Amino acid sequence: MTVVAHTEYLTIRTPSRYEIRDITPDIERVRAAAGLWDGTILVSTMHITSSIFVNDHEPGLWRDILAWAEKLAPYGEDYAHHQTGEDNGDAHLKRMLLGHQVIVPVTKGALDLGPWERVHYGEFDGMRPKRVLLKALGIRE
């Protein structure tokens, strides 16, 4: 058994401020590049106004998730963070609600996900390049 440690970075620039995007194919690509047979892939946004989470690949649900995050952490409130000149206090909270990283299990050379599990990137302050770290750790066959 050979231990594997392989890291890649994904750059995402969304056309709008808020967006949800399925990035599962990128994770499978990194798994293959690492030759990972058993272990995990850490998927972690490197920015504090975006999110990584697992849910269904269903555009109606994506709208529900964005509406829910807006309801619980609204844009345009009088956040103390805005005294720094920023206007994205809501994005910092939305990303806490939805989480910023996911561990994807890999078993027998494949992503070990349930039938509807897909890994998503959630953007809450977009229209500029953001990075996502993907780190494969485990063993080769």
Q: Residues interacting with a second copy, by CB under 8 A?
A: 1, 3, 5, 7, 38-40, 42, 44-48, 53-56, 58, 60-61, 63-65, 67-68, 72-73, 79-84, 89, 92-93, 95-103, 105, 107, 112-117, 131, 133, 135, 137-139
Nearer to a second copy, 17 or 99 (CB): 99
**CA-CA distances (angstroms) from residue 122 to 83, 109, 140?**
25, 27, 31
Minimum CB separation of residue 23 from a second copy in Å reads 16
19 alpha carbon, distance to own chain's centre: 11
Give the angle 62-65-67 at the CA atoms, nearest 5°: 110
Minimum CB separation of residue 46 from a second copy in Å reads 3
Nearer to a second copy, 25 or 105 (CB): 105
3-state helix, strand, coil in the chain (%, to 5): 30, 40, 35
Minimum CB separation of residue 54 from a second copy in Å reads 6
SS3 31: helix
Nearer to a second copy, 15 or 85 (CB): 85
d(CA 78, CA 90): 10
Minimum CB separation of residue 92 from a second copy in Å reads 6
Nearer to a second copy, 17 or 38 (CB): 38
Beginning with the edge strand found earlier in the chain, give each strand of the sheet holding 110-111 in spatial order. 3-12, 130-139, 38-45, 101-107, 110-111
